[in-house]
A and B are shown apart, each in its own frame.
Chain A
Amino acid sequence: MEEWRLLLTDAKDAFTNMAIDEAVLRQVAEKKSKNTVRFFQWVPSTVSIGYFQGINQEVDLGVCKNKGVDVVRRITGGGAVFHDYNGEITYSVAVNESHPKIPRDIIDSYHVLCGGLVNGFKLLGLNAEFKPINDIVVNNKKISGSAHTRRFGGVLQHGTILYDVNINLMFSLLKVSDEKIRDKMIKSVEERVTSIKKEKGNADKKKVIDAMTKGFESALDIKLVKGELSQEEIEIAEELKVNKYGTKEWNFKR
């Protein structure tokens, strides 16, 4: 059976996390690293914004600063995500674009790669379904969202796995289009978003990661073997952190 690398990089800062994703993507694209599934967390907690989003349109930077929450722009499109250290696990998959399991069509690719998460949620006893374009729902409530890019000859998909969710905290960090309806909006999001804890009564991070690992193995018909970042990846990530993800030019470009 085909072996991919499993990376468990624990909790790191926002700029390192996004730099690692790109470093791994670059090395996987060049076939210098094995195709990879990675699970990680963010410390301090972070708001990541999509490539096309305006940072000041989406994020209340003053509140983030007061609460010690970092903000980073992703290489991928999509929406703003609050990566709460106490409630969220992030996954990322980096795979060479020529891999036979990866469809050329982007929406089909979401479906294939989200299949790993759907299987993982099922192993946790949740009736999860893929909801196009890029969400996974349980009982019609969002429990995971993903973003995808293709560049350098590789595919990177990363996304969020909610195991506990604090919507009030999340919305204190994000701007809403109309302040007059903030309370109403929070209420409606509460009705549309769920978490593993909300559905199951409890959530253990390690169990979640184990289930998702097995989920990806069965969805992609691969064996995930625990590995480490290569020396090259560490060096590329360090460079990207300093010269890209940690810079104002990048984070404030829109």
Chain B
Amino acid sequence: MGQKNGILSADYKVKGGKLLRCNLNVDNDIISSIKITGDFFMYPEEKIESLEQMLTGAKMDEESVREKMNAFLSSNVQVVGADAEDFVKLIMSASAN
């Protein structure tokens, strides 16, 4: 079991200025819940909930999170102000405190 379990959060500043934030729960290295917030743009907006659902149940490691992000962004959705790697970095930088 890795170090990153429990209630975690992160802020991540995207190059260009947008701020991504997340709060997540990780149990046994699995993301059991996640909320992503920030001042980015996503069309259609409601898709943020699909993203959070897709990430829920994912393994808390870079590859799994990247895979989910890429799958999400290849669905019918557009994010302005951040890309897949920004979200990966956001989630992987989450820590407890």
Size range of the interface on B?
A: 10 to 19
Instruction: Using known A-B contacts A52-B45, A133-B16, determine if residue A77 contacts B39 with beta carbons closer than 8 Å.
Output: yes
Question: Is B84 part of the contact surface with A, judged by Cβ < 8 Å?
Answer: no
Query: Which chain A positions have C-beta within 8 A of B45?
Result: 51-52, 75-77, 149, 151
A5-38 vs B, Cβ < 8 Å mask (1 yes, 0 no): 0000000000000000000000000000000000
B37 engages A77 (CB within 8 Å): no
Given the complex of chains A and B, what is the CA–CA distance between A125 and B28 in angstroms?
A: 61
Smallest beta-carbon distance A76→chain B, Å? 8
Q: Which residue of A lies closest to B81 (CB)?
A: A133
Most buried by A among B16, B36, B37: B37
Interface size on A, residues (CB 8 A): 23
A50 engages B39 (CB within 8 Å): yes
A147 engages B37 (CB within 8 Å): no
How many pairs of A and B residues are in contact by the CB < 8 Å rule? 56
Q: Is the interface of A mostly helix, strand, loop or mixed?
A: loop
A53 engages B38 (CB within 8 Å): yes
Given the complex of chains A and B, what is the CA–CA distance between A126 and B5 in angstroms?
A: 53
12 contacts between A and B (CB under 8 A): A50-B39, A52-B37, A52-B38, A53-B39, A54-B35, A77-B39, A77-B41, A79-B19, A79-B39, A134-B41, A150-B44, A254-B37
Question: Is A211 part of the contact surface with B, judged by Cβ < 8 Å?
Answer: no
Query: Which chain A positions have C-beta within 8 A of B41?
Result: 76-78, 106, 133-134, 147-148
Question: Is B80 part of the contact surface with A, judged by Cβ < 8 Å?
Answer: yes
B41-76 vs A, Cβ < 8 Å mask (1 yes, 0 no): 111110010000000000000000000000000000
Which of A132-153 touch B at CB < 8 Å? 133-134, 147-151
A77 engages B35 (CB within 8 Å): no
Given the complex of chains A and B, what is the CA–CA distance between A147 and B35 in angstroms?
A: 22
Query: Which chain A positions have C-beta within 8 A of B81?
Result: 77, 133
Query: Which chain B positions have C-beta within 8 A of A133?
Result: 16, 41, 80-81
Smallest beta-carbon distance B7→chain A, Å? 15
Smallest beta-carbon distance B3→chain A, Å? 24
Q: Which of B37, B43, B48, B80 contacts A57 (CB 8 A)?
A: B37
Smallest beta-carbon distance A5→chain B, Å? 25
A149-162 vs B, Cβ < 8 Å mask (1 yes, 0 no): 11100000000000
Most buried by B among A52, A57, A76, A150: A52
Q: Which residue of A lies closest to B78 (CB)?
A: A106
Q: Which of A80, A106, A254 contacts B43 (CB 8 A)?
A: A106
Query: Which chain B positions have C-beta within 8 A of A53?
Result: 37-39
Question: Is A177 part of the contact surface with B, judged by Cβ < 8 Å?
Answer: yes
Smallest beta-carbon distance A69→chain B, Å? 19
B36 engages A52 (CB within 8 Å): yes
